[in-house]
Structure 1
């Protein structure tokens, strides 16, 4: 005799699975929208509190302008702000590329030659401990007053975090992975590209996201030392002229570029790590 309860039980289970999946998707959409909206809401709340503080306490514009005044300057002097952003962006990006390339190359050398790490890593630590404001005048004297010292400062700031993270990522490999590659008679280069480099990618991108922000800071600090253009130079000029709205607008432009740079690296991280997992699978 055919049991009539079994098809009904299967249909009920199917309905429950469909409902559970629908609830899961709805929860996932809710979390995605919350991640997008919460930062926007926080920024709007901050701007509202800032505006109210300026209005209620009657703060003078040269001390702290209102967000409305800053927005007015952003719209009115947009061309000037963008013209000064371009050299800063070039210096930051070139410094980011050069500094991280040098750090990754040296980290690779450290993995291959332990004696090189023992000899050069203390020097890298000492250079990193020198304040940026002390490095900038030295590099200006050595490289001149053009874009070169700003690029060098941005590169030096990016260099050390990437060197440390990349070295750790290349070394932090599970012994069983190395043993498997030995069993398979893999060469040193195969071990490096198939095991060490994929393992180092999460460490590397953590450092690159930090470097994306610090490279902009390095370029701006470099422009404080003898520069007539760029975000750093515009900050100095607006400070000396007590042009507080322009100062705040310049800071907003520099911070926005830094955030966009960080976002680009984050997108590249998601793509590369997903590709790496798929490729290895």
Structure 2
């Protein structure tokens, strides 16, 4: 006879479920699947027209049937996002280095950077499109602008986060400014920088799409506008999901790079 009791048989599935929920990404995945099921059932039971709110099954069908169209518009947005991410963060880092080492420039231009950041990107985008046209340059500049300010602020904060006692010790030991920068300030600023890069990895996609809304024939932003005006709701939702997926992939890439390059993180970094 088996020595396994009924309670033990019942506990095995329960223990498996408990172990499953301890896995980091399982709860959000299950929650997302639950929302999709509720969405599907709710739309079908309520009889909502497809052009108003398509069911997830309709969106999935369009993702397959219109894959070529989505891919055609995906690549321009990806290129614009990556270039905007690159240039926006590069100029943000360079500006932060200048502001930290030249206090007068910091006092003169940092308020100006704050002012520019307060202007909605939807207000700036038409101006840039008028100046640079409907091509790649305007979209890259828009994506760069939306990445620039978070990187500037976080990088300045990181470069200034060095312990004053460590800085004084370096000066007593006759360390030069380049040595202090490369071996102390830059190392201290990396966690802050990656916090900004995580923000920029998602906002660069937003910037590229906004640029395409204002003036573009191709790109996910242009496809969103086209699907909206033609009441192709399944295509609209599918395009939004592809855009979101692009942002998630970029965010995950930055997160992986952070884990590989940085083994420590100060409490102040967010």
Q: Distance in 2 between matches of 1:276 and 1:221?
A: 34
Q: Distance in 2 between matches of 1:53 and 1:189?
A: 62
State whether residues 154 and 192 of structure 2, in contact with CA within 8 Å, keep that contact through their aligned partners in structure 1: yes
Partner of 2:91: 102
State whether residues 125 and 210 of structure 2, in contact with CA within 8 Å, keep that contact through their aligned partners in structure 1: yes
Shift of 1:33: 5.6
1:210 aligns with 2:199: yes
State whether residues 198 and 276 of structure 1, in contact with CA within 8 Å, keep that contact through their aligned partners in structure 2: no
Q: Distance in 2 between matches of 1:204 and 1:196?
A: 12
Partner of 1:46: 35
Q: Distance in 2 between matches of 1:125 and 1:179?
A: 31
Aligned mate of 2:67, from 55, 73, 78: 78
Aligned mate of 2:143, from 141, 154, 174: 154
Partner of 1:66: 55
Q: CA RMSD in A?
A: 1.7
Partner of 1:36: 25
Deviations, residues 143-171 of structure 1 (Å, cap 9, x unaligned): 11101111000000000000000001001
Q: Distance in 2 between matches of 1:42 and 1:69?
A: 20
Q: Distance in 2 between matches of 1:180 and 1:80?
A: 60
Q: 1:58 and 1:163, CA in 2 relative to 1: closer, same or farther beyond 3 A?
A: same
What SS does structure 2 have at the residue aligned with 1:96? helix
1:167 aligns with 2:147: no
Is there any run of 5+ residues in structure 2 with no aligned partner, and where?
1-18
Q: Distance in 2 between matches of 1:199 and 1:126?
A: 28
Map of 1:137-148 to 2, 5 A cutoff? Answer: 137-148=126-137
Q: Distance in 1 between matches of 2:150 and 2:20?
A: 32
Query: 179-188 or 140-149: which moved more?
Result: 179-188
1:128 aligns with 2:117: yes
Q: Distance in 2 between matches of 1:31 and 1:116?
A: 54
Shift of 1:48: 0.8
Partner of 1:21: none
> TM-score under structure 2 normalisation?
0.89
Q: 1:113 and 1:201, CA in 2 relative to 1: closer, same or farther beyond 3 A?
A: same
1:267 aligns with 2:267: no
1:199 aligns with 2:178: no
> TM-score under structure 1 normalisation?
0.85
What SS does structure 1 have at the residue aligned with 2:72? helix
Deviations, residues 200-230 of structure 1 (Å, cap 9, x unaligned): 1111111110001000000000001121100
List, as ranges, runs of 4+ consecutive aligned residues in structure 1 with deviation greater than 4 Å.
Answer: 30-33
Deviations, residues 21-60 of structure 1 (Å, cap 9, x unaligned): xxxxxxxxx5896202112111111111111110121111
1:118 aligns with 2:91: no
What SS does structure 1 have at the residue aligned with 2:47? coil
Partner of 1:91: 80
1:180 aligns with 2:131: no
Is there any run of 5+ residues in structure 1 with no aligned partner, and where?
1-29
Partner of 2:5: none
